[in-house]
Amino acid sequence: MTGAPAAPASSSAAPATTPVVQCWVKPNDSCWFWRSTAESGALRDPSALPVDRRAHEARIQKGLWGPRWARLCPGRLLELKGSRALVIDHQTKTSEKVPASLLLLWYEGLLVLDAVSKVEPKVPWLTDKLTGILETERAKFKHGHLSALLYVQKQLMGFACTGPQFCGASGETAGHRRQLQNKGQPAEGEVTEGWYGVQALAEYLPPWEAFLHPKCGIYQDFYMVQWAPPHNKTDYGYMEHGSETLCGATWEPDECLPDDLDTLRVAVKRRWTEQQREREQRDREQLEKEKRERDAKAREAEEDKANEEAERTAKAPRMFNPLRLELIKDLVSPEVNHVVYNLLKSTEDAEIKKGWPKSRSEYPPGFGPADPPGCCGVSCDCMEDWHLGRHALDAGRPWIDSQPRNAACEVAMLAFMNQQEHVTRRGQFSGLHYLEANTDRHKREDVAQVAFAAGLAKLARSVLRDAAQRVPLEALEADRASQGRLIHRLAMGFSNDEVHPEAGGPFMPLQYQVTTGPSWLHVDAGSGSVVLREDSPDYPPSKAAALAISLTSMVPGKFDRMDCNIDPNVSGTGDSMLFGLTSKVVAKVARTEPPSLQDIMKERLSSVFDFQATQCIAVPFGAWVEAMWGVAYTARSYSVGQLLPRQATASNGGGRVRTLPTGMPLTPGM
């Protein structure tokens, strides 16, 4: 059978016709494109062979192959016209015209990054930002594994990743991607001068592996060609593209092999997929083994910590509650208990003063007095609950008392009392002096803007409530390793403006009492932080688990109900569910007034939505919840806060400035 010239320079004799270019990227899809690794960052085709022998030798001498020759850049295809594409560069945030042949599908680019990330020493252009993109995308798949097998089977089994100008046997040309022909087994041919007989295609490398291979370095499909006699006995291992494992074989790019060998291409790709299936299976087994070992170590650490906690807790009653008196849970911190040690026999001053520690040695371990002023003395009466102490006003605070400070305090208090627009001095006749706020004098004039903000707050709470119906199990595992605020943040989605209105509510919960939940989940009553009991026989769960929490606040007898579902089958980034919820909020923010509030909301959403690229960002579920909680909190603060107008300074053009409760200026008409 007959092959094509093995020398790369021979492929340059292609006809001058324009090759057919196939672009698999669709408009508005995220993609990758190629640039030079040089400082100029010009566009570069990594699949192109050197133009002549001199250029070839120069690249060999400097080692300019693979990731030292070209680098990947993330972008998004805006428009496709023939062989030209308009792409927005995610790194520079600018649009640029790029040959469509330089675009890669998003997943294929991830396979390139995945391969580059395993190279030692580290490739300079693999920045932290690119590594972050790779890690975020890996997290969407089980064990963080990207499958080259699935991509080759779906995209490359019937196509060849070739050079910029492949010339077929019938004279047609194709660029970069061409469909493989079903021509059957190639016929035997006479080997003439300049041509070599091909005995077999022994091995195959997909383009991302060939790009990094020391014998390849070009972004094309590569094949190990077993040459026919008399070249099958020649050792090519010393050549830059010679095989070191098979005698009489060299690595050749797809562009240097005729389409008569397409049947052999398909056959060797199928062999590669079988071998790759076994490799990926071994990788998955190794990853599962490593995960089991990590989980086992984590469980041991949790058990050790639990044992230490149990020992400490067991000793606590003997130290602080030796009489086993009834314990009363603290309203704010349920893990803290109070006890009435001894009821007073009378209300006499001498009786009230009994039992109060008057030296540091009398305090329980770990506790002490406020210092300054330090321990109480024998004559102290500040513990009497009906006054601050007979000498409280006379005692002063000598550690901070000074004449300049006292004068400054008096000037500040008088200045504040003179602000009659804001406060009224009361109690001058009764002697019960206090300042009353004049909130009724200041009514919000921006009624429409208040309504916008209230509507945005309501929408943000509703998306938090919707997201709580599919909480990824991975998010709870990650929440345990962070600050444990996931349940606390989601709780805002279940608050209601109609709850506790008589007390100025709604309020954030003080306690989280689980009424319904799985046995492997524990929610701290005081903070809402989550602990997963991985030693439970029901962990990890195989299906979604319901979680119901009663949210209690400072108002007696009033509570909200929080209903969630924990789903082990949802990825840590929440799949596409969060994208839809984010889009709802972004659309509402676009109509929010005033513009300054809209800017603040965009800043809150910048971690989950790219406003320049107008697309959602895949982030961990906990980070998404944090962003939406910030939107709901800020919007509600704006809608209920008192915005007091004040005289503007000369620096703002003489207009009037409104100030948010958080201190951020809002200028009407911006």
- 3-state SS string over 570-601? CCCCCCCHHHHHHHHHHHHHCCCCCHHHHHHH
pLDDT at residue 211, rounded to an integer:
97
The answer to whether residue 260 sits within a structural domain is yes
Residues 589 and 562 in one domain: no
Least Cα distance to 572 among 486, 473, 487 occurs for 473
487-509 residues labelled b (16+ CB within 10 A) or e (exposed):
bbbbbbbbbeeebbeeeebbbeb
Residues 202 and 240 in one domain: yes
List pLDDT tens digits, range 658-670: 444 433 333 333 2
265-275 residues labelled b (16+ CB within 10 A) or e (exposed):
bbebbeebbee
Assign 644 a pLDDT band (cuts: 50, 70, 90): low
List pLDDT tens digits, range 329-385: 776 676 677 776 666 666 666 666 667 788 888 888 778 888 877 888 777 777 665
State the chain's mean pLDDT as an integer. 82
Residues 640 and 594 in one domain: yes
Tokens of 37: 């690794």
pLDDT at residue 291, rounded to an integer:
86
List pLDDT tens digits, range 472-486: 888 888 876 566 788
Segment 214-243 shows an average pLDDT of 93
Question: Domains in the chain: how many in total?
Answer: 4
Tokens of 127: 């920045």
List pLDDT tens digits, range 25-77: 999 999 999 999 988 889 999 999 999 999 999 999 999 999 999 999 999 99
List pLDDT tens digits, range 309-334: 776 665 544 445 666 777 777 766 76
Evaluate if residue 21 carries a pLDDT over 80: no
* Domain end point (choices 518, 546, 567): 567
Segment 607-616 shows an average pLDDT of 90
d(CA 40, CA 44): 11
Report which residue type is found at 125.
W
pLDDT at residue 438, rounded to an integer:
77
Whether 105 contacts 80, CB under 8 Å: no
pLDDT at residue 649, rounded to an integer:
46
* Domain end point (choices 315, 339, 372): 315
Segment 185-200 shows an average pLDDT of 79
Among 436-440, 450-454, 650-654, the range scoring the smallest mean pLDDT is: 650-654
pLDDT at residue 650, rounded to an integer:
42
pLDDT at residue 9, rounded to an integer:
35
Residues 485 and 555 in one domain: yes
Residues 464 and 603 in one domain: yes
The answer to whether residue 609 sits within a structural domain is yes
Residues 581 and 544 in one domain: no
Q: Are strands 20-21 and 173-175 parallel, antiparallel or unpaired?
A: parallel
The answer to whether residue 442 sits within a structural domain is yes
Segment 636-650 shows an average pLDDT of 65
Residues 34 and 126 in one domain: yes
pLDDT at residue 662, rounded to an integer:
39
Residue-number span of the structural domain to which 466 is assigned: 409-470+570-644
**DSSP codes, 476-500:** HHHHHHTT--HHHHHGGGG--TTSS
List pLDDT tens digits, range 268-283: 999 999 999 999 999 9
List pLDDT tens digits, range 107-162: 999 999 999 999 998 999 999 999 999 999 998 988 788 999 999 999 999 999 99
Residues 222 and 277 in one domain: yes
What distances in angstroms separate CA 505 from CA 8, 130, 440, 501, 560, one per listed residue? Answer: 76, 45, 19, 5, 12
Assign 440 a pLDDT band (cuts: 50, 70, 90): low
d(CA 91, CA 252): 34
pLDDT at residue 395, rounded to an integer:
59
Residues 138 and 200 in one domain: no
The answer to whether residue 670 sits within a structural domain is no
pLDDT at residue 159, rounded to an integer:
95
The answer to whether residue 4 sits within a structural domain is no
Residues 544 and 582 in one domain: no
Assign 524 a pLDDT band (cuts: 50, 70, 90): confident
Residues 286 and 434 in one domain: no
Residues 203 and 266 in one domain: yes
Neighbours of 80 (CB within 10 A): 16
Least Cα distance to 563 among 621, 633, 516 occurs for 516
pLDDT at residue 503, rounded to an integer:
53
Assign 606 a pLDDT band (cuts: 50, 70, 90): very high
The answer to whether residue 480 sits within a structural domain is yes
The answer to whether residue 662 sits within a structural domain is no
The answer to whether residue 160 sits within a structural domain is no
